[in-house]
Amino acid sequence: MVAYLDHAASTPVRPEALAAYTAALAHAGNPSSVHRHGQTARAQVEEAREHLASVLGCEPIEVIFTSGGTESINLAIVGLYRAAVESNPARNRIVVPEAEHHATLDTVLWLQQHEGAVIDWIPVDEHGRIRMDALEATVQREPHTIALVTLLWANNEVGTIQPIDEVAALAAEHLVPLHIDAVSAFGHVSLNFAQLRTESGAVGGSGLVALSISGHKFGSVPGVGALVVSRQAHLEPLIHGGGQQRGLRSGTLDAPAIVSMSTAALVVQKTHEVEHSRLSALRDATILRIQELIPEAVLSGDRATRLDNNVNFTFPGCQSDSLLFLLDAHGVSVSTGSACQAGVAQPSHVLLAMGHDERGASSALRITLGHTTTQAEIDEFLAALPEAVDRARRAGTTA
Amino acid sequence: MRVLAAMSGGVDSAVAAARAVEAGHDVVGVHLALSRMPGTLRTGARGCCTIEDSMDAQRAATMLGIPYYVWDFSERFKSDVVDDFIAEYQAGRTPNPCMRCNEKIKFAALMEKAIALGFDAVCTGHYANVVPDAQGNLELHRASAWAKDQSYVLGVLTSDQLAHAMFPLGDTPSKDLIRAEAAERGLSVAQKPDSHDICFIPDGDTRGWLADKVGISEGDIVDTEGTKLGTHEGTPGFTIGQRKGLHIGTPAPDGQPRFVLEIRPKTNTVVVGPKEALDITEIAGTSYTWCGLAPENPEQEFVVEVQIRAHADPVPAIAQLVGGELVVRPTTPLNSVAAGQTAVLYVDTRVLGQFTIARTVSDLNVVATA
């Protein structure tokens, strides 16, 4: 018996998305070609764009297909930053919380080192929730010098959902462009781009203007993602060439992957309500059982305002990589949640930002659920956990 | 047995793991991350510690069909090996970081963690043999091919460590055969160059690296009487026995060349003298371990062979434990011995033990300590 409980890393391809992918692969033709083969391919892409736009609550023209979450985030951050600086060189501040994904952190640090960006770091509280008081103070201070605000809708490691409505309203009020990284959130929260824009009072190229998603996080084939870019946003492209997709992302469109992603998104939309309550119940039961089995284990992230598929505990006295190894030996795949460098689990920067010391930040396990998760898999994990914790504790934390 | 194969990304450890698999063991590959900021690509003669090496190790593990993990020992490596290396140099000694890594990391931190996690043995690509004596006590012996023998750097292992160590390459006649075997097994590392340098000094410039870490300043070059003969630009660049690069203007009274006899970082002094003063007739130290069973009565003189470098020839010697200090007198003088070096004692092919040289006595009765 194996248990795959690392859906936040990548969730299995949904059967519908796989079928749509293989069917689309059978077509020859470049979506940019003018002949009928090209037109067929183009039709696949545009139909997929419409489907995805309907799910995301935006206009089809606002969907820019990319190679995945990291590219979407890079395009949003670098694109918004460069457009802002080009319009006004003094507009070089990037406002970003400390517990973001590396796709964001490394991108803003790169802009700091190479293009003169000034980073305003926003702290998070002990649950990983963004400190709204700090964000308000930062955004209110000379908002016309801010190129963009970027943040996660929900933290990918500890699952805490951010007060996105408040952030969007704040950005709109001060006429600051906002990008939301919804890679971990999409499929697990109710999300509507236009509604959020309207209700937050966004106008023109400010307020919520961009939102990133990644296909393989919700059941598409991997290697495809999207950036929603408001038609009023000012954003420079990173990839130049044939001028596809509003000139914001040149390059031949991967029609089969795009079709696969839009199919997965439609399934997500159709099943969201039922799946949300199923996963929430599984998540809550899992949290309770872990607390019963390992009373010293500490839940990370907000208890209530968290993703329906996220469970994250620290296990005092254990090292994550020992736990991971021992559970893997039992066929249970979980994650430390933190980024890897050459396969080494680093202390989680998210847990560090939440106030853990290095040892605590190296003792976390992230268990994430998804559309294929069964109670039997959870039971398999829970059965293996106590012995793994016991052994990991004996192996110590000194290495 | 449940075996943890330490895989550096090199050909030796890959073939060692392959042989462990073939012997029917339940093998898991582990790559040790020794730096928090690993380089991306291999450079120079480095054979581990970059992301490329980690990927090589992973590919080998995949080819062998075994699970593979990277374990982070960077903190331990920094404190027990790198910082120790710097401190030893600063104290005027010449440390062997590979030995320290075996002592503190591979056969200590890694082995302890492996055992705690349920493994029975740690397998490495070292060329050495662990064999039981008639009573079943484990002994460490030189590899069958002396040219590749690495028992010297394993001299620090104790009985407990030998009991959990596995060296599948110990009986291989040559490295070429290992490469051929790797190629036959389809391992992409078959032709990967050997590593030579200290892994944390990738460009091989130990002098520059040390100068960068400890800083260097001008100091005196003196003779054995303490008379100043010249000036040097910093002690880290000197090695015992060095003749060139001293730049001493005045010749020695006897007209003979002078050699570096001793380095004293505390006073930033380099001591020079005649070649004969490099002929060491006695070495001693209090920091010793026995590899396997200890000699029955070490307070009585016993016959050994002593080896003071990884690839030096062993020299017959008389050893004796005198008041807690292990004293070894080679029958022919040893050349260019530096305090801090490890002396490994052998009886025939068996490793008897080792100690860190703290004191040397030369043919001219010059005593050097550090």
pLDDT tens for each residue of B317-339: 999 999 999 999 999 999 888 88
Please tell me chain A's helix, strand, coil percentages from 3-state DSSP, rounded to the nearest 5. 45, 20, 35
For chain A, the structural domain boundaries read 3-10+272-395, 15-265
- Residue-wise pLDDT for A195-251, tens only, equals 999 999 999 999 999 999 999 999 999 999 999 999 999 999 999 999 999 999 999
Q: Which residues contact A274 (CB under 8 A, 6 or more apart)?
A: none
Give the residue with greater pLDDT, A299 vs B227.
Answer: A299
B266 with B282, same domain: the answer is no
Structure letter (DSSP) for residue A342: T
Say yes or no: B238 and B107 in one domain.
no
Q: Please check whether residues B102 and B48 belong to one and the same domain.
A: yes
CB contact (8 A) between residue A342 and residue B118: no
Q: Tell me the pLDDT tens digit for each residue of B37-70.
A: 666 665 554 445 678 888 899 999 999 999 999 9
B327 in any annotated domain: yes
Residue A182: per-residue pLDDT: 98
Nearest to B70 among A326, A343, A394 (CB): A343
Judge contact between A248 and A288, C-beta under 8 A: no
Same domain, B157 and B30: yes
Measured between alpha carbons, how far is A249 from A257 in angstroms, rounded to an integer? Answer: 16
Q: Is B15 among the domain residues? A: yes
- Residue B198 domain-assigned? no
pLDDT surpasses 60 at B370: no
| Residues 6+ positions from A190 with CB-CB distance below 8 Å | A272
Q: Is A56 exposed, middle or buried (0-12, 13-18, 19+ CB in 10 A)?
A: buried
Residue B178 counted as domain residue: yes
Residues of A in contact with B40 (CB under 8 A): none
User: Distance between CA B315 and CA B329 in Å, rounded?
Assistant: 10
Q: Which residues contact B296 (CB under 8 A, 6 or more apart)?
A: none
- Which residues from A are below 8 Å from B when comparing CB atoms? 321-322, 324-326, 328-329, 341-346, 391-392, 394-396, 398-399
From A203, A281, A340, A376, active-site residue: A340
Are B113 and A344 in contact (CB < 8 Å)? Answer: no
The verdict on B363 and B287 lying in the same domain is: yes
Q: Do B51 and A342 touch (CB under 8 A)?
A: yes
Would you say A352 and A338 are in contact if contact means Cβ atoms under 8 Å apart? no
Q: Identify the CA nearest to A119 among candidates A147, A140, A99, A141.
A: A147
CATH code of the domain in which B250 resides: 2.30.30
> How large is the ipTM?
0.87
Q: B34 and B78 share a domain?
A: yes
Fold matches, A3-10+272-395 and A15-265 = no
pLDDT above 90 (res A161): yes
pLDDT at site B38: 65
For range A72-93, the mean pLDDT: 98
Over residues B210-229, mean pLDDT: 85
Q: Band of the pLDDT at A399, cuts 50, 70, 90?
A: very low
Domain final position from B175, B191, B207:
B191
Q: What is the DSSP string of B99-119?
A: HHHIIIIIIIIHHHHHHHTT-
Closest chain A C-alpha to B264 CA, distance in angstroms: 34
Cβ within 8 Å of residue A70, ≥6 positions away: A103, A214
Q: Are residues B227 and B290 in the same domain?
A: no
Of the partner residues A324, A341, A398, the one whose CB lies closest to the CB of residue B38: A341
Do B365 and B233 lie in one domain? The reply is no
Q: B174 and B310: one domain?
A: no
pLDDT in tens, B62-94: 999 999 999 989 889 999 999 999 988 888 777
Spatial distance between the Cα atoms of B150 and B119, rounded to a whole number of angstroms: 24
DSSP three-state, residue A133: helix
pLDDT tens-digit map of B115-151: 999 999 999 999 999 999 999 999 999 998 888 899 9
Question: Are residues B75 and B162 located together in one domain of the fold?
Answer: yes
Number of domains into which chain B is organized? 3
Rounded average pLDDT over A256-278: 97
Q: Which residues of B are less than 8 Å from A321 in CB distance?
A: 69-72
Q: Which residues of A touch B69 (CB under 8 A)?
A: 321, 324-325, 343
Amino acid at A8: A
> Is the backbone of residue A303 left (phi > 0), alpha (psi -120 to 50) or beta?
alpha
Which residues form the domain of B262? 216-273
Together in a domain, B256 and B187: no
pTM of the model: 0.89
Write out A276-288 in H/E/C secondary structure.
HHHHHHHHHHHHH
Nearest chain A CA: its distance from B83 CA (Å): 16
- Claim to verify: residue B237 and residue B344 sit in the same structural domain: no
Identify whether B200 is part of a domain. Answer: no
Best mutation target among B4, B54, B69, B107 (most A Cβ atoms within 10 Å) is B69
Q: How high does pLDDT run on average in chain A?
A: 95
Of A179, A182, A255, residue with least CA distance to A214:
A182
Residue in B2, B37, B71, B104 to test binding to A, most A beta-carbons within 10 Å: B71
CA end-to-end span of chain B? 44
Give Cα B173 distance to the centre of its chain: 22
Distance of alpha carbon B31 from alpha carbon B38, whole angstroms = 13
Q: Residue B103 is part of a domain; what is its CATH number?
A: 3.40.50.620
- Average pLDDT, integer, range A139-144: 97
The minimal CB distance from A399 to the residues B31, B58, B109 is found for B109
Q: How confident is the model at residue A339 (pLDDT cuts 50, 70, 90)?
A: low
- At residue B49, the pLDDT reads 66
Enclosing H/E stretch for A386: helix A375-395
The CATH number covering residue B310 comes to 2.40.30.10
Put simply, the answer to whether B117 touches A398 (Cβ < 8 Å) is: no
pLDDT above 70 for A187: yes
Q: In CATH, what number does A15-265 get?
A: 3.40.640.10
Q: What average pLDDT score do residues B270-292 get?
A: 91
CA A214 to chain B, closest CA, distance in angstroms equals 26
Which top CATH class is A3-10+272-395? alpha beta
- Residue to mutate among B117, B119, B122, with most A CBs inside 10 A, is B117
**Residue B205 covered by a domain:** no
